[in-house]
Amino acid sequence: MVTGVVVTNLATGITRSAVDVATVHFKHHSDEEIDKLVADGHVLNYAGAFTLLDEGHVERIDGTLDSVLGLPKELTKKLINEVLE
């Protein structure tokens, strides 16, 4: 996941931006496991096929969960503080 964040202080016009990268590493699944997951239909509810909270599918996440979900909170807070200084 690559997320770009741009924060602008409308009173001063100061803008700061940054890019955050997070990677989800999924565990290996056999063809039989994949067929079962597809047949269950659960994976059709998510764009990436799994919710990150599903047990047993995610090996590790490089980065933060909030970044994977769409908005890196700490980076956003940092940029907000920078435009307020």
pLDDT (average), residues 63-76: 91
Are 20 and 67 within 8 A, CB to CB?
A: yes
Q: Is the pTM of this model over 0.75?
A: no
The two structure tokens encoding residue 83 = 């435009």
pLDDT on residue 8: 98
The DSSP string of 13-47 is --EEEEEEE-EEEEPP--HHHHHHHHHH-GGGGST
pLDDT on residue 56: 76
What lies within 8 Å, CB to CB, of 22 at 6+ separation is 1, 3, 61, 62, 63, 64, 67, 68, 72
Supply the mean pLDDT for the chain: 87
Task: Decide if pLDDT at 25 tops 60.
Answer: yes
